[in-house]
């Protein structure tokens, strides 16, 4: 028995400290709900959970971003819905004006209403905005420029990435040709058929009469007519593209010959090298050229005149053999939505400019192209409004596709956030049942250690009693 060093008390004290520390940790876990309250609790778990927490917060914000994007699109789509209603009304008025029961004053009154509606279209296009950002004024769309070289219009899909492209004609088209010799009948009527369209030729007709009827039917064919002695020869050929088809001719008592056309070939490159990893398909329809591949790239080009193998068809600028057209696509105007938790996880949204100019209602200088003060003008206006309705409907359909994609994005982000939250919970959240069990155990041990320490501290008193006796 010793007095200077109470080893038993020291051992009891050490165990009491350890038990108290575990009891404190259990109390902290129970009170906070977290089993990791400091790096010392689980350093690896803390690092992993912090990365998960960062991802969760970013996913939550990305989901809100996508919902904000949906709100923007709904704003633009609502404006386009009103624009379409206005155009429908103008078309209705044009149909009314095309009726010859109207006098000039009636048509002028209709024109006044249409003019006011045109002003409203420009107002809606220029003032539709979200959070101070214009949507339909052209500030949120991609910019496409090209060297003319025979191009008249160009449209591109969303799959066309920003960059510089070159279009080159590598093979000229061979037009489909046909010719026939016919005679104006001495009496009665004979029939001439061009591509299934019938043309009546009467004995009283002149060459000019027949030529005018043929021109009405063959507005997409180049026609040359030379006269003979009592008969006439027609030479017909398709314009520019060839399109690999025949011109079909038939009639009473005619002689004919035909050759099949062949398509031109094109090469599209990006930045001096082939710009596609997949097979590119080029198709021509009239003077329209469509270039597309399976990745979503689609570029539609209207060429003023495509050159043909025997020479340029028609007048004006043409896309000749070896001539290159440079096309530049800029994404500077597109609206980018951050719809992911990490860098570059964005979605581009294009809001096309909507105005009387872009809808072909007015010239660039503001001159109106819609005039229903005559039957001919009203009929032309109907066609113009049909094109505009089609354009606005396509834009609304595109915005609807954006909305559907964003809805799917929000759902996907919410699911990802839920799954990561569940994973993080398993790392940092307290299992209350297990923690309560540990707390009860450590509490009993603390009480036991305290009791043993008290008894160990009484042992020197026993030695003192021995000395006194």
Task: Grade residue 364 by pLDDT with cuts at 50, 70 and 90.
Answer: confident
Distance CA 174, CA 391 (A): 33
pLDDT at 455: 83
Closest residue by Cα to residue 117 from 152, 92, 151, 145: 92
- Mean pLDDT value across the chain: 77
User: Distances in Å between the alpha carbon of 230 and those of 182, 192, 249?
Assistant: 9, 17, 20
In 10 A of CB 49, how many CB atoms? 21
Of 188-197, 205-214, 319-328, 340-349, the least confident:
319-328
pLDDT digits (tens, 9 = 90+) for 10-65: 888 888 888 888 888 888 888 888 888 888 888 999 999 999 999 999 999 999 99
pLDDT at 310: 41
In the block, residue with structure tokens 């004919």: 256
Mean pLDDT for the stretch of residues 58-87 = 95
Position 382 pLDDT exceeds 90:
yes
Task: Grade residue 67 by pLDDT with cuts at 50, 70 and 90.
Answer: very high
Distance CA 439, CA 422 (A): 25
Cβ contact 302:240 at 8 Å: no
Containing H/E element for 229? Answer: none
Tokens of 368: 């109106």
Torsion of CA 331, 333, 337, 338, to 10 degrees: 60
Go through 164-175 and write b for each residue having 16 or more CB atoms within 10 A of its CB, e for each that does not.
ebbbebeebbbb
Position 90 pLDDT exceeds 80:
yes
Mean pLDDT for the stretch of residues 150-168 = 60
Strand 288-292 relative to strand 311-312, pairing: unpaired
pTM of the model: 0.58
Mean pLDDT for the stretch of residues 276-301 = 59
In the block, residue with structure tokens 């860098």: 343
User: 163 forms bridges with which residues in the sheet?
Assistant: 329
Position 192 pLDDT exceeds 50:
yes
Angle formed at CA 208 by CA 207 and CA 211, multiple of 5 degrees: 85
- Residues 6+ away with beta carbon under 8 Å from 424: 49, 52, 53, 56
Position 221 pLDDT exceeds 70:
no
Backbone angles phi, psi at 231, to 5 degrees: -140, 170
Angle formed at CA 292 by CA 290 and CA 294, multiple of 5 degrees: 155
Distance CA 458, CA 469 (A): 17
Position 452 pLDDT exceeds 70:
yes
Cβ contact 306:238 at 8 Å: no
- Residues 6+ away with beta carbon under 8 Å from 198: 191, 192
Considering 29-38, 57-66, 144-153, 180-189, the range whose residues carry the highest mean pLDDT is 57-66
Of 21-35, 60-74, 277-291, 399-413, the least confident:
277-291
Cβ contact 313:240 at 8 Å: yes
Cβ contact 183:253 at 8 Å: yes
In 10 A of CB 217, how many CB atoms? 17
pLDDT digits (tens, 9 = 90+) for 406-446: 999 999 999 999 999 999 999 988 888 888 888 888 888 88
pLDDT digits (tens, 9 = 90+) for 228-265: 545 556 666 554 444 444 455 555 545 554 455 555 55
pLDDT at 294: 55
Q: Domain locations in the chain?
A: 177-259
Q: What share of the chain is helix, strand, coil (3-state, %, to 5)?
A: 45, 25, 30
Position 93 pLDDT exceeds 80:
yes
Tokens of 298: 């689609």
Containing H/E element for 227? Answer: strand 221-227
Does residue 379 or residue 182 have the better pLDDT?
Answer: 379
Of 98-107, 111-120, 218-227, 401-410, the least confident:
218-227
Burial class (CB in 10 A: 0-12, 13-18, 19+), 325: buried
Distance CA 387, CA 341 (A): 41
Position 8 pLDDT exceeds 90:
no
Does residue 127 or residue 263 have the better pLDDT?
Answer: 127
């Amino acid at each position: 028995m010793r007095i200077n060093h109470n080893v038993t008390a020291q051992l009891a004290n050490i165990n009491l400290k350890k038990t108290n520390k575990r009891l404190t940790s259990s109390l902290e876990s129970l009170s906070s709900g977290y089993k990791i309250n400091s790096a010392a609790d689980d350093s690896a778990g803390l690092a992993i959970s912090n990365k998960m927490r960062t991802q969760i917060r970013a996913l939550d914000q990305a989901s809100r971003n996508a919902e904000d994007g949906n709100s923007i699109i709904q704003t633009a789509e609502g404006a386009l819905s009103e624009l379409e209603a206005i155009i429908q009304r103008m078309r209705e008025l044009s149909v009314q004006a095309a009726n010859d029961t109207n006098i000039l004053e009636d048509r002028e009154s209709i024109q006044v209403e249409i003019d006011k509606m045109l002003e409203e279209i420009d107002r809606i296009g220029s003032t539709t905005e979200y959070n101070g950002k214009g949507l339909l004024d052209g500030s949120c769309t991609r910019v496409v420029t090209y060297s003319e070289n025979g191009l008249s219009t160009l449209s591109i899909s969303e799959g066309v990435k920003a960059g510089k492209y070159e279009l080159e004609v590598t093979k000229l088209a061979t037009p489909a040709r046909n010719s026939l010799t016919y005679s104006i009948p001495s009496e009665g009527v004979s029939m001439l058929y061009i591509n299934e369209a019938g043309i009546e030729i009467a004995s009283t007709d002149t060459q000019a009469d027949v030529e005018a009827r043929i021109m009405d039917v063959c507005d997409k064919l180049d026609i040359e007519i030379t006269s003979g002695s009592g008969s006439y020869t027609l030479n017909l050929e398709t314009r520019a593209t060839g399109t690999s088809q025949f011109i079909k001719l038939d009639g009473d008592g005619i002689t004919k010959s035909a050759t099949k056309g062949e398509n031109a070939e094109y090469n599209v490159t990006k930045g001096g090298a082939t710009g596609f990893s997949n097979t590119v398909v080029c198709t021509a329809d009239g003077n329209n050229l469509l270039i597309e591949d399976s990745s979503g790239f689609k570029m539609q080009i209207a060429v003023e005149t495509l050159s043909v193998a025997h020479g340029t068809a028609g007048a004006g600028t043409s896309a000749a053999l070896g001539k290159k057209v440079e096309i530049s696509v800029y994404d500077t105007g597109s609206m980018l939505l951050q719809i992911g938790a990490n860098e570059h996880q964005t979605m581009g949204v294009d809001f096309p400019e909507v105005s009387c100019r872009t809808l072909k209602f007015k010239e660039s200088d503001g001159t109106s192209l819609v005039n229903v003060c005559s039957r001919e003008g009203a009929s032309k206006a109907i066609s113009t409004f049909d094109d505009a309705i089609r354009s606005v409907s396509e834009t609304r359909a595109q915005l609807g596709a954006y909305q559907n994609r964003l809805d799917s994005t929000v759902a996907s982000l919410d699911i990802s956030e839920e799954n990561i939250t569940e994973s993080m919970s398993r790392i940092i959240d307290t299992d209350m049942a297990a923690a309560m069990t540990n707390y009860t155990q450590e509490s009993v041990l603390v009480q036991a250690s305290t009791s043993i320490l008290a008894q160990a501290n009484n042992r020197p008193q026993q030695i003192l009693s021995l000395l006194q006796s």
